[in-house]
Structure 1
Amino acid sequence: MSNPALNEIISIHVGQAGTKIGESCCKLFCVEHGIDKSGFILNNHCTDRTGNIDTFFNVNSDSKYIPRSLFVDLDDGSINEIMNGSLRRLFDPRYLISNKEDASNNFARGYYTVGRKIISNVMDSVQSLAENCENLSGFLIYNSICGGTGSGFGSLLMQKLSKQYRKKTKMCFCVFPSNKLASAVVEPYNSILSTHATLPHSDCNFLVDNEAIYGICRNKLDLEKPSFFELNMVIAHAVSFITTSFRFDGSLNVNLNEFQTNLVPFPTVHFIATAISPLRSSSKSTYSNVGGQQIFQECFDKGNQLLSCDIEKGKLMTACILFKGVVPMRDVNVGIESIRHSKIEYVDWAPITFKVGINHRTMDCLPNDIVGRSLLSAGMVINSTAMGKCWNKLNQKFDKLYSKKAFVHWYVGEGMEEGEFTESRENLANLERDYLEMSIDCNSEEDEY
């Protein structure tokens, strides 16, 4: 058995998107570990299914399990909803932090002005959570890089974490701007400013976007007009797959450091796409039953991916598939071979390998879940050169706005220098080039000499 103390992780949820995703994740984690809404182990829950509960929960003297989670928003609306919601008795109110003044979709307000007012309080809370850990492995940060708090305050927080906890792993679950859906016209500014500010400080970023998840809800889960609660439920399942091996013993487990080692071939090329299979509506059947080979194929289907990024238009660098349920290794190997001989292209400078994690627990679902249960399921994380095309599209949107200097005065008015726009854009151009260089075959480079 693994030592649970080796996998203690602190989750930090920033902004409205981050806090809402965090609430959905905590609900699902409680179901998986057999914890009720007050933080106590359910009487009818098998003790051998609680797993390494200390990964995401800290137990107090009353045997109550409290999430190792910090919720932060510059506006108090989302925090008040949590404090008055169904999980109000689960969380420690000391780690629910808000302000009375929001960031108004402005990176500069979250980073330079409003965010600076609470950063000291937030870092004190992080230290308090860290002191309650026997052996802290790292941090999971949840935010949207589209809005003001998630982008601005999220960047400020990442820089502080990098300085204070330099050797700890820092992974992010980020809501990325959608190609066609936008809640604010300045999303390209916020996203590129945030990525520039956090690029050296994050070890791995799992990206999702609302457009892709809307597509999953409509085409896979039979929801014509999904709510944000339902979108967040899909994201929570993706997070569950990624973190299952941290929390439950399995025949093939993947720890926090292994994700970094296997998924990130170059420091800046750390943006990861995520997919889930199978995706079936909970209203159609209690359980669906699919095989390992079908799961592999579905994970590479655009309809199962939580990011609007066409993997087939790039070259696969690394991938990791994480199973829940009993799967024979023969099925896994057949699935890998089927993908190797598909139309997916691969970089030629690395061997074609898939990191595989297997946990024999079947997937858990919430009572009102929109995702149907399956005896065998999997989450896949993919690092592909196709991510460069996502950054290219975002850079083009930035360029159109900045060519007219549109809305720039709102950022400068919060104390940000205009030169930061051009500096950030140049850094993102370098990121694009990094992805392009990753896609160039070694044979092509040799032919040039």
Structure 2
Amino acid sequence: MRVESHTAGSDPITVAVVGCGQRGTHYSVYALNEPTKCKVVAIAEPRPQTRKNFARTHSVDGSLVFQTWQDLHKASADTIKTIGKRLADAVLVTVQDSMHLEVVLAFAEQGYHILCEKPMSTNLEDCLKMDNAIKKSGVIFGMGHVLRYSPYNQEVAEVIRSGALGELINVVHIEPVGYYHFAHSYVRGSWSKEAESCFSLMTKSCHDIDILCHYIADAAPSRVSSFGSLKHFRKEAKPKEAGAAKRCLDCSYESQCAYSAKKIYLDSLSPLVHGGWPSSTIVDGVPDIENVTAALHNSRYGECVYELDNDVCDNQIVNLEFSNGVTASFTMIAHTSLICERQTRLHFSHGEIVGDMSTFTVTNFRTGEKKLHTPSLEGGGHGGGDLGLIRSFVEAVRTGRQEVLGTDISQILRSHLTVFAAEASRLEGRVVDCAEFEKAARERIGV
């Protein structure tokens, strides 16, 4: 087996990718665009065609291509034991959410620096265990809260920190998930059932609670309340014209349905260019007409959105009070034409910022000046946030400085705890004290 040595001098940071799906692919593009800074040297992926394609794209040696993360971990343990070196400098953990804890703990114990896709985990106790393990290992740790790393949010944060608009008083933030995005991911997809994944405020919107914590960086959430429900994607909302049809390809009402699988996955395919989200995510290999059609006949992605067993909220609001008195409100809503194009208003004592994740306008009440900011749009998803995160992580590993990431495991845990507290509020119908909530959780598991 060929083993990559630990980074020295100007050598690129080497990474092993655990999970070669959408998120693993997005982060790993950096290695293709900046080969002198980052190189993928090992992968673990259970799907044969996805594994083959990823290995070929990154020219990964066949001896370092594994079917499971356990195989990769064992190979790493063998090389550490025999020659005293890990397979790579860092591991990208981009597997299903429920697997994050076991993968992170296993590779942290071996001394790998880790970039983990959000969320930390799907339950509160596991997040606390991960926090404890990362602190014990002392490795560099990054979390897939990519919104922090987009040029847009970095520029917004600069205005906040400058004090030019006075004291921040209130933030209003909305995430329009998108009607077909929600149907794909949270009705038909991997995040549709809380028991198999987690509640939607965590799986979709921990990004947003984190960006609020980032904006209000000099304080911690102190109290939270929340309301929400699964309002639409239920059998009771099924159009009568659809009758007893269980699959879109068998439904006479399909052409009139906003959530038609044929419209979402087949009609969006170009006859000239294969690929594109979301069609690319429902097949193993090339998302051509034949493969996608087969998926619609045989998989959950072809089923009627009103006949499935999904149970996560399609709308939710969260109200936050921070320790410095700043208040914030957040809304997650499925039924929008915009796809994850967040809208934000930040209100200060002497001005305001109004933005849409692409541009933002700053109004200074003292001077009367109103200025439009148009941050540079880099490549990659989330307005350049994906690129910004992996670039920052690689630099943090190269320099051995956690602060390059602008956050650490304690802050990452805090925003996750806030999400769990908000969901507790929704379920229990009460205002939750964040400090008491964390204390009780730690007492339960003894950390």
Task: Tell me if both proteins adopt one fold, taking TM over 0.5 as the criterion.
Answer: no
TM-score range, shorter chain: 0.3 to 0.5
